Structure 1
């Protein structure tokens, strides 16, 4: 990881070692690609031509020219491997909080975010690394719930399981809860609160699905009456037990719910 004028550069090298029995190992190295990131966070890939075939994705035409290439899985994966410890970054990236560690975030993504996204700078400087990592993978989540994040931080909330926290916040939103309420968005026990809202949301989904099915049944009322109307009003009784027809769609659902049977949901 180094620089060239105002560009942040990530250089990629292939290390080779030729070994034969009874002979000393012969190490060698070859540069296969570079990511160049401009001050606005835009990236360009320069490298050898990638070849296809065989069992390996990191194969290159060693005699090909070192020129601008389309980004691909090989360069992207290799740039996220082991980093030479002597790191040099641009003054802008250093000013935006970088402290010589990528924190297991893809370096190209991290530098792009630090150069183009003020939220990444804020999270880096406040040492909210888990949130920064989530931003690098899911920037839309952080953008959408940024105000909620700031309220939680002001109230001393520690972001540990960030994935679960965002899942929990999305459930609160789905249930129509106030995402500005510290008591909701900064729970003392995230796992318990998350599980409570999973159960609530599941119950709501079941209720919504039943209502959707009921509305669909109402739309099919004409067909229902065509099939059943000849039996409407029919009743048999011996004075103690009464057997009668079910004459409306709503009655099918009500009986199904009260008796825990599927005569409504199965569209009998």
Structure 2
């Protein structure tokens, strides 16, 4: 893509003046970005692919140190002879008043008996202006691939559209010596924030007052959560963040702290009070108020359920009152009609089935009975009033009991009592 704006023209020209990586930078990328490998055979012999030496090690650990070159190795027990790795390395610098994030692909190839080979190719540059404008220079990528590192190395670094393929590429493997433009330093940037896209981080500091504030007051974890958003509306947390800042309180677990504030808000606590906003032991207070919140929610659900039951009770009484008091037994099993919606709720809770939640008390053609032995519920029976037949009989978790056939037979033998109530 050809440059069209003054900013893009400036970026293209400034890119030509970027220096080659120094030997120290290349050495850092090869030793910190790429994991060095030790191949272990079934006999416990480990070959260091860094220096080629062989040593004996039977430990079950996945990592060890080569006694010959001191390299920290990731052990792979395998018979293969060739190994390769591909990963990103980032270098942050400033050029012509612009912030630059340079992304290199580090390719590593190793073979038993040969020295490892490293190749570094610059695949992308992110240029950020002090006012938050940005653009991307990158090589072409293979479209339609699932691999984010499928670059066409023979292509040129050119202006590319801000598509997902380029905008979401970043790494936490960043060369420790960075150069920042003065504007970023003025907005509170002192170091790179791990775990977030560095481009998004820099732009947020330059254009977002709240990101700048969080950086300047040292709330790193809150800033990380703010940049990730996590579906949270930070507007409701901001007054409490200001209280924490005034009391020199540093939030070490941002997600837990925000969850804690949400519970305090639900419980009606004062979120402008340092007593609540700045707990000495966040996890302990979080768990304590979670118990209170859950208890409050249970009480609310119970009250709502009670109101709903009362609302449905009158209709059930009118529809099925003529069957109330109907009961029969065979000397061991007693079967009786459920006489209230509250009894449906208790039946469903005890038997772990849907007689209440599926609203069987609203079904005009259904008569629900409970079969018990010595007062203990055994099965719940549904009878069709139009067909005068048992539709179903369910025990705990909808399973049949050993009394299933006996219960159905008992209901069928007393179906005339139900018929009499219908005719009455």
TM-score greater than 0.5 by the shorter chain: yes
Checking the alignment, whether the CA contact within 8 Å between 1:50 and 1:59 is kept in structure 2 is yes
Work out the CA distance in 1 between the residues paired with 2:96 and 2:311: 68
The equivalent position to 1:213 in structure 2, one of 305, 312, 315, is 305
Task: Mark the structure with the bigger radius of gyration.
Answer: 2
Work out the CA distance in 2 between the residues paired with 1:84 and 1:14: 14
1:94 is matched with 185
Which stretch of structure 1 is more off in the superposition, 195-204 or 119-128? 119-128
Looking at secondary structure, tell me which structure has more strand per residue.
Answer: 2
1:14 is matched with 105
1:184 is matched with 276
Tell me how far 1:175 sits from its aligned partner. Answer: 2.1
Work out the CA distance in 2 between the residues paired with 1:261 and 1:109: 54
Distance 1:23 1:152, change over 3 A: closer
1:126 is matched with 217
* Greater RCO (Cα-Cα under 8 Å, separation 6 or more): 1
Checking the alignment, whether the CA contact within 8 Å between 1:58 and 1:74 is kept in structure 2 is no
2:124 is matched with 33
Work out the CA distance in 2 between the residues paired with 1:114 and 1:192: 33
Checking the alignment, whether the CA contact within 8 Å between 1:2 and 1:88 is kept in structure 2 is yes
Looking at secondary structure, tell me which structure has more helix per residue.
Answer: 1
1:138 is matched with 229
Count of paired positions: 256
Tell me how far 1:178 sits from its aligned partner. Answer: 1.8
2:263 is matched with 171
Checking the alignment, whether the CA contact within 8 Å between 2:204 and 2:211 is kept in structure 1 is yes
Distance 1:214 1:73, change over 3 A: farther
Work out the CA distance in 2 between the residues paired with 1:61 and 1:245: 77
Tell me how far 1:100 sits from its aligned partner. Answer: 3.7
Q: 1:1-268 to 2 correspondence within 5 Å? A: 1-17=92-108, 27-52=118-143, 56-65=147-156, 66-72=158-164, 76-77=168-169, 79-138=170-229, 140-221=232-313, 223-231=315-323, 234=325, 249=341, 252=343, 256=346, 267=356
Task: Find the residue that maps to 1:228 and give its secondary structure.
Answer: helix
1:239 is matched with none
Distance 1:229 1:58, change over 3 A: same
2:391 is matched with none
Work out the CA distance in 2 between the residues paired with 1:155 and 1:18: 53
Tell me how far 1:114 sits from its aligned partner. Answer: 0.8
Distance 1:212 1:82, change over 3 A: same
Gaps of 5+ in 1: 237-243
Checking the alignment, whether the CA contact within 8 Å between 1:49 and 1:69 is kept in structure 2 is no
Checking the alignment, whether the CA contact within 8 Å between 1:11 and 1:35 is kept in structure 2 is yes
> What's the TM-score, normalizing by structure 2?
0.51
Tell me how far 1:128 sits from its aligned partner. Answer: 2.4
Checking the alignment, whether the CA contact within 8 Å between 2:125 and 2:138 is kept in structure 1 is yes
Work out the CA distance in 2 between the residues paired with 1:134 and 1:80: 18
Distance 1:25 1:230, change over 3 A: closer
